[in-house]
Amino acid sequence: MKNPYDISHVKKIQNAIWSNITTTMTPITAKNLELGAHYGGVFQVGNEQLVMHTDGVGTKLLIAQELEKYNTVGIDAIAMNVNDILCLGAEPLVGVDYIALEKEDDFLVEELMKGLVAGAKESNCAIIGGETAIIPEIIKGGKRPFDLTFTVVGKIRKKLITGQEIKPGQIIIGLESSGLHSNGFTLARKVLDMKKWGKEMLEPTKIYCKSVLEMIESDIQISGLAHITGGGFSKLTRLNKEVGFELTSIPKPPKIFDALFEKVKDSKVMHTTFNMGIGMAIILEQQHENQIKSIAKKHGVNSFVIGKTTNKKGGWLESDGKDINLTL
């Protein structure tokens, strides 16, 4: 089974957007143009390098509507943003939310705010404002239709991490996810029984701020970080085009991924759509493996060596003695 949307077409649209927005760059942003395909926009204010990023929760919101449970998707909205800027070495500072409604709905807004506040506290990111829009002509469908996005601003801690320091022979450590997180739901909703899997599908995205920020602040030299979201493990290849990323030992994922594979029956689609139980990947020298695992364990996060970097460019999954190309 293929992805329900044309990934190459999406990339074409993204490239067109980037070509347009680069014309707006000022001197404080121009030197960071090469980060256009990365996890946030980097800019300079005084002596500080700041990062800005925005993201939403996608069609996972439809699961919330189906189950009539709205108090956790705010965590997802925060997580999708703060986890992304972590990959640049940034600590979340502040953010603003955007809630779009079909009509005034006090209960829905109150429930959404519960998740936003919980996610903000977990990531130590202050919500300093936002926008609530009532747009019935656009927001339609379901019992309580809505859309939810978040925008975050963070600060680079020790140094900007771009992935350019990645070289062959390094290890890839994966941090365990809490489930599907917030990507792949267009396909997941199509193939999974909502009555059986709905509750697990709504499990909030894990926020990695505490563990990853401690790793960044340590003496460990981290070469690259990847938030495994849309595109699955193909996300690794955006870090550095001059090396390869081979996945050799991803641990057995939670049962929901088995249920998905029974329907999809394609390893490439699975690993380029879903996180397969790994929400964040860290690339570094093998000598730091125990330190990384120790920090992750301290924060209650399971971690595993899931692969290595090689001279064979692109992303690869080792399966039954063959390499499956994960590059999109």
Give pLDDT tens digits for 1-20. Answer: 666 656 678 778 877 887 78
Indicate whether 221 and 273 sit together in one domain: yes
The answer to whether residue 235 sits within a structural domain is yes
pLDDT at 318 over 60: yes
Contacts of residue 151, Cβ cutoff 8 Å, sequence gap at least 6 = 52, 53, 54, 81, 95, 96, 97, 98
Q: Are residues 273 and 147 in the same domain?
A: no
The rounded distance, in Å, linking the Cα atoms of 40 and 91 is 12
The C-alpha atoms of residue 267 and residue 270 are separated, in whole angstroms, by 5
Q: Does residue 231 sit in the same domain as residue 320?
A: yes
Residue 13: predicted pLDDT: 84
> Three-state secondary structure along 51-66?
EEEEEECCCHHHHHHH
Q: Is residue 166 part of a domain?
A: no
The last residue of one of the domains, among 91, 124, 156, is 156
In a domain, residue 79? The reply is: yes
Average model confidence (pLDDT) across the chain: 93
Shared domain for 268 and 151, answered yes or no, is no
pLDDT of residue 4: 63
Count of structural domains within the chain: 2
| pLDDT over 70 (residue 33) | no
* Assigned domain for 5 exists: no
Residue 4 located in a structural domain:
no
In a domain, 21, yes or no: no
Query: What is the model's pLDDT at position 319?
Result: 86
Domain of 261, CATH number, reads: 3.90.650.10
Cβ burial 88-103 (10 Å sphere, 16+ → b, else e): bbbbbbebebbbbbbe
Q: Quick one: 42 and 109 in the same domain?
A: yes
Are residues 65 and 138 part of one domain?
Answer: yes
Q: Which domain holds residue 276?
A: 171-325
- 177 lies in the same domain as 312: yes
The yes-or-no verdict on residue 292 having pLDDT over 90 is yes
Is 131 inside any structural domain?
yes
8 Å CB contact between 269 and 3: yes
- Are 109 and 231 found together in one domain? no
Residue 34's pLDDT band (boundaries 50, 70, 90)? very low
Q: Is residue 184 part of a domain?
A: yes
Share of the chain above pLDDT 90, in %: 82
Q: What is the CATH number of the domain that holds 99?
A: 3.30.1330.10
Within this chain, do residues 285 and 188 fall inside the same structural domain, yes or no?
A: yes
Domain boundary among 156, 181, 196: 156
Residues 239 and 264 occupy one common structural domain: yes
Same domain? For 199 and 289 the reply is yes
| Confidence band, pLDDT 50/70/90 cuts, at residue 22 | confident
- Summarize pLDDT for 220-271 with one digit per residue, the tens: 999 999 999 999 999 999 999 999 999 999 999 999 999 999 999 999 999 9
Domain C-terminal end among 156, 191, 213: 156
